Chains A and B, each alone.
Chain A
Amino acid sequence: MDQEIIDKYQLVVGLEVHAQLLTQTKIFNSDENEYGALPNTNVGVITLGHPGTMPLLNENVMGQAVKMGLACSCSISEYNIFDRKNYFYPDLPKGYQITQDRTPICVGGRVVIYKKNGEEHAIQLNRIHVEEDAGKSIHLDGEADTLVDFNRAGVPLIEIVSEPDIRSSEEAHAFLMEVRKLVRYLDVCDGNMEEGSMRCDANISVMLKGAKEYGKKVEVKNMNSLKNVQRAIDHEFLRQVEALENGETIISETRTFNAQDGTTSGMRAKEELNDYRYFPDPDLSPFIVTEDWLNTIKANMPALPRELYNKYMTDYRLPAYDAQVLTESKEMAFYFEAVCAHTKNFKAASNIIMGPVKSYLNEHNLSITNLSIQPEQIAEIIALVDGNKLSFSVASQKLFPAMLEKPNQKAETLAEALHLLHDGDVASIETAVDAVLAEFPDKVAQYQKGKKGLLGMFMGQVKKKTQGKADPKITNELLIKKLG
């Protein structure tokens, strides 16, 4: 299709993100909430919807939902009831899913993403509500039956529903990255899209630019990675534009994403009558958010990535790139925070973490929580560099790897034992300087004729001769003096 034609249209996307909460137990009973258990081993009578059983709300579920709501500046609903969403499916033993239709625990709010130019952009939320997950149906090729595992039935979810506020697939990607970062910082969900603990459905429509009304929306499911969400949106945008250009009408339908070829295809519209007949679940009593309870949650909120990002930019004067990388994960940010409790040279702390620390972790596929070197030891390294006892390159290339081997030693002790510290002994540096000058008589002559830029080359040679140990300040002074 012609880019000119494509450019006439505006993409409009709203996302629904389901996040499985990191609780010990399910939302309405005490069965384990555990990923990867053997099939149908975390199932009790309530999970299986046996007659006469009554649900009882897990308080921690409401607390975790509220944490996410506070992080997204939502207003928290004081009065909460639960609704039954009725539909027939074998992975839903009761015949209904318990959800919050009328009184979502969190209303409104926003998720702030960053545009390419670093500008903040808020994606408005409609709501965050709690609900129960369904079981898992397994359809195997050549198998006459569908197999059902109810371990997941009743696992608590929050559903984060955005307004149709997203205008490109890149924005959708950034939104999901930010949501994932938030749930991980808050410890409410592990954010693993591949394992399905965080899932995303996208409502996608197109309209002519400047149009007042949105086009008919299509719901796309089955995208199990951030990349696939972006691919599905890109594909769906072009598909809808092409259909409209061909004079077709877009029908509201649910489509499934095929990861192999990046296309979407319509699911059979068997649920024409998608009438969920929501009504309040009479088995559950209202949940009232009290001020005390809310204040306790507020008091225990961890630092959020955006707060830390702004702090690193404003208070620590770090470049946006550093602030971004350091706040990517909570573990990284908290480690950096711990280093900064022991040093005031924030940029040096950032350089060490983003340089040797990060490349070591990447190389060995480790998390910073596995790092054997303690934050205060990183601060010790910085102090050595700042005190001019060690160059940054020797610190990162020699001292850091040595400390990984011997994490119990003080940085200075180890540097000394390995003869890494700058040699401040004028006599020995002088020997090295003399040797270098004797080695390059022609360069010395050029320098004396005015080619002062050669000083760096002499410095480098002395450094090489002394394995980087010669104190650069003394070396510099000696060279200038001797070269006249």
Chain B
Amino acid sequence: MKIDNKTLEGMAHLSRLNLDQKDVEELKKDMSEILDWVEKLDEVDTEGVAPLTTMSHEINAVREDKTKPHLSHEKALKNAPKKDSDYFRVPKVLD
């Protein structure tokens, strides 16, 4: 499958990546190759086979509605690149 400029731009937007124009051709080529490789799977006849949604054979893995100890407030914020005593701080995202 050929990746065109529009698809590449769309994916860059969804991934919040700024593409360098000099990388565009190479990225298109790499991604097209990846998709070609995955397309190999199309050769398998999946007629009548339900899609696999999980690798586990378990069903109804559920838990009781009871609280358990979790991270403290301090620990929760510990790895944040930017924070104050209460909140995670991120670049302004208001529209």
A interface, CB within 8 angstroms of B: 23-25, 29-32, 38-45, 47-48, 56-62, 81, 86, 88-90, 137-139, 143-150, 267-268, 270, 273, 275, 277, 280-288
State whether B70 touches A44 (Cβ < 8 A): yes
Q: Chain B: which residue is nearest A270 at the CB level?
A: B95
The listed residue with most B CB atoms (<10 A of its CB), out of A90, A267, A277, A281, is: A90
Answer whether A25 and B62 are a contact pair too, CB < 8 Å, given A146-B92, A280-B53, A286-B53: no
What is the bound-complex CA distance between A285 and B63, given in angstroms?
Answer: 12
What is the bound-complex CA distance between A78 and B1, given in angstroms?
Answer: 37
What is the bound-complex CA distance between A172 and B34, given in angstroms?
Answer: 49
B21 within 8 A of A: no
- A31-B67, A148-B88, A285-B59 are known contacts; what are 16 more A-B pairs with Cβ within 8 Å? A25-B65, A25-B68, A31-B70, A32-B67, A39-B87, A43-B73, A44-B71, A47-B70, A56-B61, A56-B62, A61-B65, A138-B87, A139-B92, A145-B92, A149-B86, A284-B54
B29 within 8 A of A: no
A152 → chain B, closest Cβ, in Å? 13
Contacts of B10 in A (CB 8 A): 273, 275
Residues of B26-57 contacting chain A, CB below 8 A: 51, 53-56
Contacts of B64 in A (CB 8 A): 59-60
A162 → chain B, closest Cβ, in Å? 27
Q: Chain B: which residue is nearest A88 at the CB level?
A: B16
What is the bound-complex CA distance between A283 and B56, given in angstroms?
Answer: 9
What is the bound-complex CA distance between A88 and B93, given in angstroms?
Answer: 11
Which listed residue (A58, A149, A282) contacts B87, Cβ 8 A?
Answer: A149
What is the bound-complex CA distance between A60 and B63, given in angstroms?
Answer: 9
Q: B74-95 vs A: 1/0 string, CB under 8 Å?
A: 0011000010101111111111
Contacts of A31 in B (CB 8 A): 67, 70
What is the bound-complex CA distance between A287 and B10, given in angstroms?
Answer: 34
Answer whether A90 and B93 are a contact pair too, CB < 8 Å, given A30-B63, A39-B86: yes
Contacts of B77 in A (CB 8 A): 40
B22 within 8 A of A: no
B78 → chain A, closest Cβ, in Å? 11
Contacts of B92 in A (CB 8 A): 139, 143-146
Which listed residue (B14, B59, B63) contacts A286, Cβ 8 A?
Answer: B59
Which listed residue (B62, B68, B84, B88) contacts A59, Cβ 8 A?
Answer: B62
- Interface size, B (range): 35 or more
A255 → chain B, closest Cβ, in Å? 12
B86 → chain A, closest Cβ, in Å? 4
Q: Chain B: which residue is nearest A39 at the CB level?
A: B86
State whether A30 touches B14 (Cβ < 8 A): no
Which listed residue (A30, A47, A147, A285) contacts B68, Cβ 8 A?
Answer: A30
Q: Chain B: which residue is nearest A58 at the CB level?
A: B65
Q: Which 6 residue pairs are nearest across A and B when measured between Cβ atoms?
A: A44-B70, A30-B68, A280-B53, A60-B65, A147-B87, A59-B62
B2 within 8 A of A: no
B60 within 8 A of A: yes
The listed residue with most B CB atoms (<10 A of its CB), out of A62, A89, A146, is: A146
B62 → chain A, closest Cβ, in Å? 4
What is the bound-complex CA distance between A270 and B16, given in angstroms?
Answer: 12
Q: B1-26 vs A: 1/0 string, CB under 8 Å?
A: 00000000010011010000000000
State whether A90 touches B90 (Cβ < 8 A): yes
Q: Chain B: which residue is nearest A89 at the CB level?
A: B93
What is the bound-complex CA distance between A425 and B71, given in angstroms?
Answer: 77
What is the bound-complex CA distance between A147 and B55, given in angstroms?
Answer: 37
What is the bound-complex CA distance between A404 and B76, given in angstroms?
Answer: 50
State whether B61 touches A43 (Cβ < 8 A): no
27 contacts between A and B (CB under 8 A): A25-B68, A31-B70, A40-B88, A41-B73, A43-B70, A47-B70, A48-B76, A56-B61, A56-B62, A57-B62, A59-B63, A60-B65, A81-B54, A88-B14, A137-B93, A145-B90, A147-B84, A148-B87, A148-B90, A149-B87, A268-B95, A270-B95, A280-B53, A285-B54, A285-B59, A285-B61, A286-B54
State whether B54 touches A282 (Cβ < 8 A): yes
A103 → chain B, closest Cβ, in Å? 10
Contacts of A284 in B (CB 8 A): 54, 61
State whether A43 touches B90 (Cβ < 8 A): no
Contacts of A268 in B (CB 8 A): 95
Contacts of B87 in A (CB 8 A): 39-40, 138, 147-149
State whether A57 touches B66 (Cβ < 8 A): no
Answer whether A147 and B62 are a contact pair too, CB < 8 Å, given A40-B76, A44-B71: no
A462 → chain B, closest Cβ, in Å? 65
State whether B53 touches A282 (Cβ < 8 A): yes
Contacts of A86 in B (CB 8 A): 14
Contacts of A283 in B (CB 8 A): 54
Contacts of B93 in A (CB 8 A): 89-90, 137, 139, 146
What is the bound-complex CA distance between A370 and B79, given in angstroms?
Answer: 47
Answer whether A287 and B16 are a contact pair too, CB < 8 Å, given A25-B66, A30-B70: no
Which listed residue (A43, A58, A139, A287) contacts B63, Cβ 8 A?
Answer: A58
A36 → chain B, closest Cβ, in Å? 14
Answer whether A147 and B88 are a contact pair too, CB < 8 Å, given A89-B93, A270-B95, A282-B55: yes
What is the bound-complex CA distance between A138 and B65, given in angstroms?
Answer: 29
What is the bound-complex CA distance between A90 and B64, given in angstroms?
Answer: 29
A24 → chain B, closest Cβ, in Å? 5
